[in-house]
Every structure is written in structure tokens, then in C-alpha cells.
Amino acid sequence: MADFIYSIAGSIALLAFVISFYRIIAGPELADRVVALDTMTILSLSGIVFLTHLLGRMIYIDIALVYGLMSFLGVIAVARYIERGL
């Protein structure tokens, strides 16, 4: 039963990833593209944590934390650029 739920959750995450990728390509504004990229980053982080659970390797949690921090700093930098304050 848990494998079925994992499959459904993975399918939903993959669909969200594809929709976000479409928004990056077709986004009318730069802010839309930034939000879509941040969404893809969050989905990637959840995928890394999911693999950590499946594989039982806790070192991947550290990788997810560093990736999340770098993503946060990138979004802040782009937001400052959009405001023309950088």
C-alpha cells in the first residue's frame, strides 16, 4: 500500500515539475519565471529527501540543505535584481 502511495505522490510531483517547466518557458513576466524556478527547486528538494528515505543514506539530507540554501540565496538575488536594487 505504501508503494502505491509513493507512486501517486511521485506522479503528482512529476506533473508539477512539468507544469513549472512550461511556466519557465512560456512565462510572460520575469517574476513568473522566478516563481516557477523556485517551485522546481522545491520539488527537486522533495525528490532528494524522498530518495534519502528510500535508499537509507542520510548524507543526502546535507546535500538537500545546501541546495535549499543556495536556491534561497539565488531567489533573493533575482528579487533584488527585479527591484533594480542590486
Q: What is the pLDDT of residues 32-77, one digit of tens each?
A: 898 999 999 999 999 999 889 889 899 999 999 999 999 999 989 9
Instruction: Report the alpha-carbon distance of residue 35 to residue 65 in Å, rounded.
Output: 19
pTM over 0.85: no
Top mean-pLDDT range of 4-8, 15-19, 24-28? 15-19
Predicted pLDDT of residue 61: 92
Domain ranges of the chain: 2-82
Give the pLDDT mean for 74-84.
87
Query: How would DSSP label each residue in 17-31?
Result: HHHHHHHHHH-SSHH
